[in-house]
Amino acid sequence: MSDVQPATASRSPYLELRDLKVSFATEDGLVRAADGVSFSLERGKTLAIVGESGSGKSVTSQAIMGLHPKRSAQITGEVLVDGTDIVSASEETVRSMRGRNMAMIFQDPLSSLHPFYTVGAQLIEAVQAHGEVSKSEARQRAIAMLDRVGIPNAARRVEEYPHQFSGGMRQRVMIAMALINNPDLVIADEPTTALDVTVQAQILDVLRDLQGEFQMAILLITHDLGVVAETADDVVVMYGGRVVERGPVNEIFTRPRMPYTWGLMSSVPNLTDPRGTRLTPIPGQPPSLINLPTGCVFRPRCQFSAHVEDAWCDTKRPDLEPVGPRHDARCFLSVSQMAALAPRRADGEEVA
Amino acid sequence: MLGYVVKRFGSMLVMLAGLSVMVFLLFSVLPADPARLTCGKTCTPDVVEANRQRLGLDKPLVEQYAVWAKGIVAGRTFNEGQGAAEFTCPAPCLGYSFSQQENVTDLITEAVPVTIWLAAGAFVLWMTFGLTTGVIAALNRGRWPDVVLQGISLVAYSLPSFFVGLMLLILLIVQMSLLPYPDYYPPSEDLKKFLVTMVLPWVTVAFTSAAFYTRLTRTQMVETMGEDYIRTARAKGLAERTVTVKHALRAGLTPIVTAAGLDLGILLGGAIITEQIFNLPGMGRLAVESVVDSDLPVITGITLVAATFIIVANFVVDMLYMVIDPRVRLA
Ligand SMILES: Nc1ncnc2c1ncn2[C@@H]1O[C@H](COP(=O)(O)OP(=O)(O)OP(=O)(O)O)[C@@H](O)[C@H]1O
Ligand SMILES: [Mg+2]
């Protein structure tokens, strides 16, 4: 990372990805779902990953959890969670870290909870997976946690089954389950996509509250730029399995330095944009992860490649280069070209 | 939930009543004349007619059914011929076997425990074996343990039980003399002889069934292991064994329980071939004997009992759904 500010330089990040590559051997060929992903995240901070469908957000987050089956996924690079490399650690080490060091909230709470066990049973087993805790004590913790995430009558509802909860309450259960062992890192993969707008807001409030209380790092995957603007400290933009831009949320929103990010941002005029604003689709198809285009992966959809000298976009892969304070982008356009070419709003300002 | 149980229980009783009508009708339209079967070769037409009247076989079918059905519920009395003393057939009276000179109920009551022992032992064997190998195959999908288990189960599944039974009998008993010839003793009388006799019948019945459960369990496991809640279970940090058994296997249990319940119900009606091969005095052998003797009351009784086992098994399976799946229980 470039230009790490002195105030934060002394603290080592809780999560650090270094050149993570995840590929799957399929009948059609090798799918490079994550191709050299690097970023880092500190305790108490929120990092949002944005990018269109198939850009490798979920694959990356599951690699952090060590959830890719060893048989089908080929993984290289490093995923450091509190200094331990998940990629090379033993299965037992990773298992013992799941839920305690890093936990995950999934998108669809109904299918992500076991239909045959009570919510309490599913919380209790999570507690008991990480230490000798009596069942009654684990139950007390389950009830306290359900209460903490805002489930009324927690002591009674702990005996109920997932299908007896509403969608929003179910997602609160998922959050309780993820947080019950006080993890330092919580990954939320589109935690509110399956919910309606008012419930989305409540769920995000719960997460924010809990972050204030427990100081965990949150890795938030979302399609909702309004949510990103409101909750994230840093943003990682992914495209075709790679990071194409990353930086503090203000930088990314006010000075995006990559045509793909411009495409994402052009639908969000400013930070106070209401929640629920969706990414407008960018013309063209996402790249095939089996046969990546030569040169810049975004080039087939990029309107600005003509501005780059010697047709580099067609032949060379741009590196992730510093373009501002803690701000990197993967583009051959120079910073001055960026400033000149960035799409403008009606008032003549740069997208901001 | 209680309402559902009561309703389901009521419909089971209705089915049983309907079943008794069907079984009775089925055997009334057979060409065999039950009156002719009441006395030996030297029977004169007069005696046959007398017996026909005495047994009420000249009455309309509805009336005959009423007498038969009432016998099941309340018992009835018979007399063997003019001048002979009447004797009672207490409920549940399924009729009287003239060729064996015994109440059908007594004949069946003697045979049922043998079949229950056979079924229970085989059931435990095939479920243990089938579930274990199915889980192993699923966890190793596409690799050698899976390929080997799938191959074996395919072969085992296609072998008929008479072949397996006869091979075991010929190899282990006749040729290698590893076990004595089968001679059934109830476990309460002689546990060792019981076990020695039962081990091969158990293996015979379990062999083919286990193969089916290997395949069924594997299919179920492969499906449930891909579910989102399995990923959640792993994400919580649960041990892989817990994920496999407590989460994946449990979730895939419904079809397995259905098949197992019905298979057990069918088996309780008698394993004709296996009982025949290993000389077990169970329901299957009683059925064969009574067919050979054209002993209609016994055939009717066995059919009724065997079908009842299946209907009851169905009911039990339905009740088990509620135990397995809270969505059924709380619906
Ligand atoms: N097990 C797998 N085998 C083969 N390909 C896979 C596998 N898992 C993911 N992929 C592929 O990797 C790519 C990235 O998938 P991923 O789920 O990470 O996308 P995403 O960014 O999370 O998208 P979305 O926004 O739709 O959730 C997709 O093209 C997907 O088809
Ligand atoms: Mg995803």
Digit-coded pLDDT (tens) for B299-320: 999 999 999 999 999 999 999 9
CA B89 to each of CA A75, B74, B148, B289, B300: distance values in angstroms, whole numbers, following the listed order = 77, 9, 56, 22, 16
Question: Is A333 part of a structural domain of the chain?
Answer: yes
Predicted pLDDT at B79: 65
pLDDT band at A101 (very low <50, low <70, confident <90, very high): very high
| Mean pLDDT across B252-275 | 93
CB contact under 8 A, B325 and A163: no
Digit-coded pLDDT (tens) for A132-177: 999 999 999 999 999 999 999 999 999 999 999 999 999 999 999 9
Nearest CA in chain B to A130: B237
Q: Verify that A47 and A172 share a domain, yes or no.
A: yes
Q: Verify that A212 and A335 share a domain, yes or no.
A: no
Q: Verify that A225 and A90 share a domain, yes or no.
A: yes
Question: Is A136 part of a structural domain of the chain?
Answer: yes
Digit-coded pLDDT (tens) for A193-213: 878 888 888 889 999 999 999
Q: Verify that A180 and A160 share a domain, yes or no.
A: yes
Digit-coded pLDDT (tens) for B194-213: 999 999 999 999 998 999 99
Domain boundary assignment for chain B = 2-100, 110-292
Question: Which percentage of chain A shows pLDDT scores above 70?
Answer: 90
**Long-range contact set of residues A126-135: C-beta below 8 Å, sequence gap at least 24:** A126/A99, A126/A177, A126/A180, A126/A181, A126/B236, A126/B237, A126/B238, A127/A180, A127/A181, A129/A99, A129/B236, A129/B237, A129/B238, A129/B239, A129/B242, A130/A96, A130/A99, A130/A100, A130/A181, A130/B237
Q: Verify that A108 and A191 share a domain, yes or no.
A: yes
Q: Does A177 touch chain B (CB under 8 A)?
A: yes
Which of B223, B232, B325, B330 to mutate to test binding with chain A, by most A CBs within 10 Å of its CB?
B232
Which of A232, A256, A283 is the last residue before a domain boundary? A232
Which of A232, A249, A277 is the last residue before a domain boundary? A232
| B38: pLDDT strictly greater than 90 | no
| A9: pLDDT strictly greater than 50 | no
Question: Is A9 part of a structural domain of the chain?
Answer: no
| Residue with token string 């929103």 | A253
Q: Verify that A43 and A188 share a domain, yes or no.
A: yes
Q: Verify that A255 and A275 share a domain, yes or no.
A: yes
Q: What's the first-to-final CA gap in chain B, in angstroms?
A: 8
Predicted pLDDT at A51: 92
Which of A217, A232, A247 is the last residue before a domain boundary? A232
From atom 19 of ligand 1, which residue's Cα is the shortest distance away? A54
Q: Verify that A22 and A73 share a domain, yes or no.
A: yes
| Mean pLDDT across B95-100 | 83
Round the average pLDDT of chain A to a whole number and report it.
88
How far does residue B141's CA lie from ligand 2's centre (Å)? 25
| Mean pLDDT across B238-254 | 94
What phi and psi values does residue A340 have, to the nearest 5 degrees? Answer: -75, -35
Q: Verify that A227 and A244 share a domain, yes or no.
A: no
The Cα–Cα gap between B87 and B80 comes to 8
| A309: pLDDT strictly greater than 90 | no
What phi and psi values does residue A145 have, to the nearest 5 degrees? Answer: -70, -40
Question: Is A4 part of a structural domain of the chain?
Answer: no
Question: Is A351 part of a structural domain of the chain?
Answer: no
pLDDT band at A274 (very low <50, low <70, confident <90, very high): low
Cβ atoms of B322 and B253 within 8 Å: the answer is no
Predicted pLDDT at A269: 45
Q: Verify that A174 and A317 share a domain, yes or no.
A: no
Q: Does B323 touch chain A (CB under 8 A)?
A: no
Cβ atoms of B145 and B136 within 8 Å: the answer is yes
Q: Which two tokens stand for residue A298?
A: 């975004």
Q: What is the CA angle B159-B163-B164, rounded to 5?
A: 75
| A347: pLDDT strictly greater than 50 | no
Q: Verify that A270 and A178 share a domain, yes or no.
A: no
Predicted pLDDT at A275: 56
Give the range of the structural domain holding residue A309, as residue numbers without chain letter.
239-341
| B182: pLDDT strictly greater than 80 | yes
| Residue with token string 């969706």 | A278
Under CATH, what is the fold of the domain B110-292? MetI-like fold (1.10.3720)
How far does residue A56's CA lie from ligand 2's centre (Å)? 7
For B236, the closest of A163, A164, A177 (CB atoms) is A177
Digit-coded pLDDT (tens) for B115-167: 999 999 999 999 999 999 999 999 999 899 999 999 999 999 999 989 999 99
CATH of the domain at A155: 3.40.50.300
Digit-coded pLDDT (tens) for B125-135: 999 999 999 99
Predicted pLDDT at A1: 43
Number of domains chain A is built from? 2
H-helix or E-strand spanning residue B7: helix B2-28
CB contact under 8 A, A116 and B326: yes
The nearest CA of chain B is from the CA of A96 a distance in Å of: 6
Cβ atoms of A299 and A305 within 8 Å: the answer is yes
Which of B1, B229, B236, B246 to mutate to test binding with chain A, by most A CBs within 10 Å of its CB?
B236
Q: Which residues contact A154 (CB under 8 A, 6 or more apart)?
A: A143, A144, A146, A147
CB contacts of A103 in chain B (<8 Å) are 235-236
pLDDT band at B270 (very low <50, low <70, confident <90, very high): confident
